[in-house]
Amino acid sequence: MKAFRANLLVCAGTGCVSNRSFKVKLALEEEIRRRNLEDEVLVVATGCQGFCERGPIVIHWPDGIFYQRVSEEEIPMLIEEHLLKGRPYKPLMYTPTAVEAPIPKLTDIDFFKYQRLIVLRNRGIIDPEVIDDYIANEGYMALHKTLTGKTPDGVIDEVTMSGLRGRGGAGFLTGLKWGICSKARDPEKYIVCNADEGDPGAFMDRSVLEADPHAVIEGMAIGAYAIGAQTGYVYVRDEYPLACQRITKAIRQAEDYGLLGNRIFDTDFSFGIHVVRGAGAFVCGEETALMASIEGRMGRPRQRPPFPAQKGLWGHPTNINNVETWANVPIIMMRGADWYASIGTEKSKGTKIFSLVGKVNNTGLVEVPMGISLKELVYDIGGGIIGGKELKAVQSGGPSGGMIPKELMDLPVDYERLAEAGSIMGSGGLIVMDETNCMVDIAKYFLAFTTDESCGKCTPCRVGTKAMWNILDDITRGRGKKSDIDLLNEIAVNVKNLSLCGLGQTAPNPVLTMIRYFRDELEAHINQRQCPTDTCEKIAPAPCQKACPIGMDVPTYVALIAQRRFDEALEVIRWDNPLPAVCGRVCPHGCEYECKRATVDTPISICSLKRFVMDYERSRGADVVPKKEAPRKERVAVVGSGPAGLTVAHDLALFGYGVTVFEALPEAGGMLRSGIPGYRLPRDILNIEIDAIRNLGVEIRTKSRVGRDGIGLDDLKKQFDAVFLGVGAHRGLKLEVMGEDKFDGCLDCIAFLKSVNIDRQLNKPGDRVAIIGGGNAAMDAARTALRLGCSEVNVIYRRSRTEMPADPSEIEAATEEGIMFHYLTQPTQILGEKGKVTGIECIRTQLGEPDSSGRRRPVPVKGSEFVVSCDAVIPAISQEPDLDFLPKEHGFKITKWNTFDVDPDKLETSIPGVFAGGDTVTGPATVIEAIAAGQRAAVAVHNYLSKGEDLKDYRVPRSYKKVPRIDLTDEEKSTLRRPDMPHIPVAERKSLFSEVALGFDIEAAVSEAKRCLRCDQE
Amino acid sequence: MVSSIINGQKVECEEGTTVLEAIRSLGIHVPTLCYHEALTAYGACRLCVVEVITNGRKRLAASCVYPIEDGLEIITDSPEVQSARKATMEFLLARSPDSTYLRERAEKEFGITQLRFVLEPEDRSDCILCGLCVRACAEIVGVSAIDFVQRGIKSQVEPPFLKGSDVCIGCGTCVLVCPTGYIKVEHLSRIAAVHEFPRYGTENVSDHAIKCRVCGAYHLGPAYPKDYEKLFTNV
């Protein structure tokens, strides 16, 4: 053989080849020719070096210099520097992260330093396509030694004593397996090499076949001799073209050399190997399915026993081992069982090949002694986590294995220890995950794989894997339920215990370990609807749902309306909202301002759609009563029957508590009744919703003013286990201008509305009225005054229409009805004669710099004063809570806005057991915000009363149902428009109580709902 | 003869007997679904699971395909077995919630009246994939006009390439053997490429039909001319 001064070993494993290593090889040969070095330097293509991430790899032998990420362009420099000038070429050397100087020698690189190569002893050294290279490295000597010096039983003893166990993952003692098959009394026997590796992230068997195919052939020949088989099969998946090609070529070379065929080494032993290409079904890695596939049948497993050793290929005894197991055999026969058994742990002997992938710096193929810790694998060999992030878990065994959390990183690589942790050794896939990986998502990913690869024969695997995937999918989309964890666990255990083959028996492992080690993360998905790593994008609510203070499941009920499933829409609405028909009329619908449809044309009429469902369903007698929990003994007093108080009462009644509501006025409803006029919120609608709450067992005591009419706050605290204060903000703020207290005809807006709405005082406040303010209360006062017969109604507002806080549709309706608006106008004093109001002096303003509310501050224009003549002035600028009901020494902390100071999380006041929410805490706000406060307070009251046990979570936006998207016709796509809300004609709007907005009919609602873009889905 | 222990009772039976046969010979009830005594056992539905103890290791295994071994210990009615069978029935129902046959059995034999989970509509079917039709077509009729296609939850029973089979003789055995009534007579025209079926009694059918290995008669379709005729009169 010719000797060369230097060998350049070019990695020709799959990773490097796909990084153009064959091009690099050609370029090297070209450059060597050009420099006339052909007689001195040899370029060799080798099997996988393992450090795949750094490919293409070239190693200079004998210097042992490791060149990485070699490109064709750099070849001339490399050759000139290293081979002509004798200076190893630094730019192509490997520099680990956080290290500055490059490491020239392969043996000094951490990735290689800690490995122990037994199976892969020839990797990167020999050309796998040249049998002489293998033979030159003691190849086929083990076979010769065995055939000429050992009995078959002697071989089996040797392999048994070595402690070699199946490297396919199950870890059955190889020698024992051979022994069973060798004892079978059948002259026809088979052996099989299982190279149907197919789990994501695993490429051990592929690399062994590519790097050293003769080791596998030699191992199989030794096994065949021991067992008494004449024929062997290598079952390799067709997706591994290089492996198929190299093993096929190697078999041919071995046959040419007489190392396969008849009378090998002139003994009586004859043996041949066939290659069978698998079509790429994961289940065919299962031995009974694999045999079915070799026989030409569908790759579906069958129950064992009978085991292949009893009844295998075509009914004959068959021994199946994995590629890596076979490749271990020659060296065991060469060096002996004692030597082999000296490596590893007590029960796991030898080495194990892993494909180290995922979020680790050094990705690649490594061979390590059994017993090495996962920590050493990830940190010493793997070089730690990419980007300095924190390790979270390692998945061994691919989709059949389990997640091993970072707390268990001291765990040694050992069949039994990995199984105790809920994982498996598996065939050697090792996927490293960092803090940014969502474990729920990872479990779902692996399940998707096993669901797809399940053959479908046995029921538990076929249905159970998909059922688990569906549950996980729901959880990652915010549809998870608390009971899901137990159900998931139960299904997983059943699939594990009941499935026919290993695929199903191990498929639940990722789910089970996820529940075992990452339950917090799973619970966050379900209970808080949050993905801690922000991986599950669709878990976040759609923009409309996010905008809603109570997180109503808008996308679901809108989708249900579009599909005419109104009864289900009703359910979804009722689960979230105790006052839906009220909200369908008076909610300021922040959801619509966030609606993504607005970027196409106009937002969805979410508010009116909700009203439609409630009106339609109730008109046909349908309603939904949410389920009540078992009764509890504690009783809660609620002061005030506005939206906050009603909601607290509603939710606490559902939790099982006895609730009594104290209302000062003769009728319940708070501001809903005293403030909002009937033409906007009809009384029968309000009554239905309040009655529904009464029907839950809530007692509402009207005309019961706490603090004055006998019952004091202290009495409530004594008689009840907890108290909620929802007294609202009913005291109008004064204008603080001259003349305000001097003349008759100055009315407080809230008092005015209450006198009309509750006391039925239907006398007009004056003939010509001026309302001061721009909110909904001002609009209500103005439109009510008009209905009472005032001949002229003026609204005076100090900013422009754009800044006006009232609902645009209210302003529009008021304008239609003939109300006069004076924008950019500010009152300066109230004028009067003989003790009666005669007018209001105003000044024009212009908008200046924004104030703390973000709106531009009105600045008076000097000398622009003018007078609006009128005989009544109704300021409607803002309100504050009326706290007169409190005793003198009440002990509550009160803010400077005269509201209750509460814990923002629990809504508990400074007095334990007394909670407050709604306008009385926030100042004047919206109905929906009061409902949100009520829902929060109900949970807080429950948690207070349950004293640390059976705690409830605050409500989070839920997605209740999976409603598939419907396809729209082209015509629908082009013609759907937001429908106008039908109103009664202006001329007919005389009555205080006929509702102005008529609501959508069925067709308008359905076509409107169809416009929804379904942001909740992909 | 091999001896085994079933629910603590020693049982002698011939080699080659399955665990299910041994259990049933004692008159003990074991629910089955994909099992038919005239056909090769298949071991897929998992309804017939029992606990088997080998080398001190206890595990669940399908009794219909488990060969009886010397010294094998079998438990047929432990709580584990009961709950495993119930779980299997739940899995079956999750795919076939509309199957009257399954629902009735689930309620009667396992007390299941409510489903805790069901698959998505696209994954549902009244075909429970028991494979009785596939095996009957292969072993009784001897033609293998239908087989499983696809895999996992997408599995279904179809003629090759989802095209009419040119070996189907239209005997209706698959219709008769189908426990859920999923395969209907009307389907035969889709299964068979040739729509002109030979009628019972014609040479063509008896040529193809083979004897039942259990009772020696033409056990299924062609054995009951009345049923067979009835099947076709409604077409």
pLDDT in tens, A212-258: 999 999 999 999 999 999 999 999 999 999 999 999 999 999 999 99
Cβ-based burial of A596 (10 A; exposed 0-12, middle 13-18, buried ≥19): middle
Q: How many CA atoms lie within 13 A of A192 on its CB side?
A: 31
Give φ, ψ of A825 to 5 degrees. -135, 135
Express each pLDDT in A412-446 by its tens digit: 999 999 999 999 998 899 999 999 999 999 999 99
Longest dimension (CA), chain A: 136
Q: Where are the alpha helices (DSSP H) in B26-147?
A: 79-95, 100-110, 132-135
The angle, 0 to 180 degrees and rounded to 10, between the axes of the packed helices A204-211 and A241-256 is: 40
Query: Worst-scoring range by mean pLDDT, A106-110, A141-145, A552-556?
Result: A106-110
CATH code of B132-233, in short, is 3.30.70
Distance of CA B180 to the CA centre of its chain: 11
Task: Look at A459 and B45 and tell me if their CB atoms are within 8 Å.
Answer: yes
Express each pLDDT in A961-1011 by its tens digit: 889 888 888 888 888 999 999 999 988 887 887 899 999 999 999 999 999
Q: pLDDT at position A399, please?
A: 92
**Percent residues over pLDDT 90 in chain B:** 60
Structure tokens at A486: 């137990």
Cα three-residue angle A811-A813-A814, rounded to 5 degrees: 65
Cβ-based burial of A368 (10 A; exposed 0-12, middle 13-18, buried ≥19): buried
The type of residue at A275 is: V
Q: Provide the 3-class DSSP secondary structure of residue A583.
A: helix
Task: Look at A487 and B60 and tell me if their CB atoms are within 8 Å.
Answer: no
Picking from A787, A711, A777, A722, the residue whose alpha carbon sits closest to that of residue A750 is A777
Give the pairing type, strands A879-880 and A731-732.
Answer: antiparallel
Cα dist. A64→A4, A93, A104, A260, B71 in Å?
Answer: 15, 12, 8, 35, 61
Mean of the per-residue pLDDT values of chain A: 93
Higher pLDDT, A510 or A1018: A510
Number of neighbouring beta carbons within 10 Å of residue A919: 28
Distance from A616 to chain B by nearest Cα, in Å? 29
Structure tokens at A911: 């007095």
**Which residues, numbered 140 to 179 in chain B, qualify as contacts with chain A under a Cβ-Cβ cut-off of 8 Å?**
147-148, 150-155
- What is the C-alpha separation between A442 and A452, in angstroms, rounded? 15
pTM equals 0.83
Q: pLDDT at position A344, please?
A: 94
- What is the C-alpha separation between A882 and A899, in angstroms, rounded? 9
Which residues of A make CB contacts under 8 Å with B? 281, 283, 298, 300, 302-303, 305-306, 451-460, 462-467, 470-471, 487, 490-491, 494, 497-500
Q: Which residues, other chains included, contact A575 with Cβ-Cβ below 8 Å and sequence gap of 6+?
A: A553, A624, A626, A958, A960
Q: pLDDT at position B208, please?
A: 47
Please check whether residue B83 is in contact with residue B69, taking contact to mean a CB–CB distance below 8 angstroms: no
Across the range A10-36, mean pLDDT stands at: 93
Judging contacts by C-beta atoms under 8 Å, the chain B residues touching residue A302 are: 43, 65
Express each pLDDT in A934-952 by its tens digit: 999 999 999 999 987 888 8
The type of residue at B49 is: V
Distance in Å from the first CA to the final CA of chain B: 51
Q: How many CA atoms lie within 13 A of A448 on its CB side?
A: 9
Structure tokens at B67: 């060969």
Distance from B92 to chain A by nearest Cα, in Å? 7
Check pLDDT > 50 for residue A841: yes
Check pLDDT > 70 for residue A647: yes
Task: Look at B43 and A456 and tell me if their CB atoms are within 8 Å.
Answer: no
Across the range B48-63, mean pLDDT stands at: 94
Q: Which residues, other chains included, contact B22 with Cβ-Cβ below 8 Å and sequence gap of 6+?
A: B4, B6, B11, B13, B68, B74
Check pLDDT > 80 for residue B119: yes
Task: Look at A459 and B44 and tell me if their CB atoms are within 8 Å.
Answer: yes
DSSP string, B2-37: EEEEETTEEEEE-TT-BHHHHHHHTT-----SS--T
Cα dist. B84→A221, A497, A650, B21 in Å?
Answer: 44, 8, 42, 20
Q: pLDDT at position A725, please?
A: 95
Across the range A895-912, mean pLDDT stands at: 93
- What is the C-alpha separation between A241 and A245, in angstroms, rounded? 6
Q: Where are the alpha helices (DSSP H) in A518-579?
A: 519-527, 543-547, 554-562, 566-576
Domains of chain B, residue spans: 1-127, 132-233
Express each pLDDT in A678-708 by its tens digit: 999 999 999 999 999 999 999 999 999 998 6
Express each pLDDT in A562-601 by its tens digit: 999 999 999 999 999 999 999 999 999 999 999 999 998 9
Judging contacts by C-beta atoms under 8 Å, the chain A residues touching residue B62 are: 303, 500
Task: Look at A283 and B67 and tell me if their CB atoms are within 8 Å.
Answer: no
Cβ-based burial of B79 (10 A; exposed 0-12, middle 13-18, buried ≥19): exposed
Please check whether residue A629 is in contact with residue A602, taking contact to mean a CB–CB distance below 8 angstroms: no
- What is the C-alpha separation between A234 and A217, in angstroms, rounded? 9
Q: pLDDT at position B216, please?
A: 52
Q: pLDDT at position A1, please?
A: 63
- What is the C-alpha separation between A680 and A879, in angstroms, rounded? 21
Check pLDDT > 60 for residue B222: no
The angle, 0 to 180 degrees and rounded to 10, between the axes of the packed helices A776-787 and A808-816 is: 20
Write the DSSP symbol of residue B196.
S
The residues facing A66 across adjacent strands are A59
| Candidate from A283, A453, A498 with C-beta closest to B87 | A498
Across the range A617-632, mean pLDDT stands at: 90
Number of neighbouring beta carbons within 10 Å of residue A821: 18
Higher pLDDT, B169 or A537: A537
Check pLDDT > 80 for residue B212: no
Among all chains, which residue has been given the structure tokens 């940190």?
A: A379
Q: pLDDT at position B205, please?
A: 47
Across the range B216-226, mean pLDDT stands at: 46
Query: Worst-scoring range by mean pLDDT, A200-214, A536-550, A582-596, A735-749?
Result: A735-749
Chain B, nearest residue to A298 by Cα: B148
* pLDDT band, very low/low/confident/very high, at B224 (cuts 50, 70, 90): very low
* pLDDT band, very low/low/confident/very high, at B213 (cuts 50, 70, 90): low
Among all chains, which residue has been given the structure tokens 């006895």?
A: A658
The angle, 0 to 180 degrees and rounded to 10, between the axes of the packed helices A554-562 and A566-576 is: 170
Structure tokens at A161: 């004593």
The type of residue at A828 is: T
- What is the C-alpha separation between A968 and A974, in angstroms, rounded? 10
Express each pLDDT in B138-166 by its tens digit: 988 888 899 999 999 999 999 988 888 88
Please check whether residue A88 is in contact with residue A60, taking contact to mean a CB–CB distance below 8 angstroms: yes
Q: Where are the alpha helices (DSSP H) in A638-796?
A: 643-655, 671-674, 683-694, 713-719, 749-757, 776-787
* pLDDT band, very low/low/confident/very high, at B175 (cuts 50, 70, 90): confident
Cβ-based burial of A7 (10 A; exposed 0-12, middle 13-18, buried ≥19): middle
Q: Write down all domains in chain A, each with its CATH number in brackets.
A: 6-113 (3.40.30.10), 131-341 (3.40.50.11540), 351-535 (3.10.20.600), 543-624+964-1010 (1.10.1060.10), 635-730+881-945 (3.50.50.60), 734-877 (3.50.50.60)
Picking from A295, A301, A512, A491, the residue whose alpha carbon sits closest to that of residue B151 is A301
| Candidate from B91, B94, B153 with C-beta closest to A451 | B153
Judging contacts by C-beta atoms under 8 Å, the chain A residues touching residue B154 are: 456
Q: pLDDT at position B211, please?
A: 52
Q: pLDDT at position A637, please?
A: 96
Q: pLDDT at position B194, please?
A: 55
Q: How would you write A661-685 as a 3-class SS string?
A: EECCCCCCCCHHHHCCCCCCCCHHH
Which of B54, B91, B95, B157 is best to mutate for the A interface (most A CBs within 10 A)?
B91
Across the range A385-409, mean pLDDT stands at: 93
Please check whether residue A906 is in contact with residue A952, taking contact to mean a CB–CB distance below 8 angstroms: no
| CATH assignment of B1-127, among 3.30.70.260, 3.40.50.300, 3.10.20.740, 1.10.10.10 | 3.10.20.740
- What is the C-alpha separation between B43 and B57, in angstroms, rounded? 21
Query: Sign of dihedral through CA atoms B119, B121, B122, B125?
Result: positive
- What is the C-alpha separation between A57 and A619, in angstroms, rounded? 77
| Candidate from B65, B69, B151 with C-beta closest to A303 | B65
Q: pLDDT at position B231, please?
A: 47
Express each pLDDT in A794-825 by its tens digit: 999 999 998 898 988 899 999 999 999 999 99
Q: pLDDT at position B193, please?
A: 65
Picking from A333, A335, A337, A338, the residue whose alpha carbon sits closest to that of residue A143 is A333
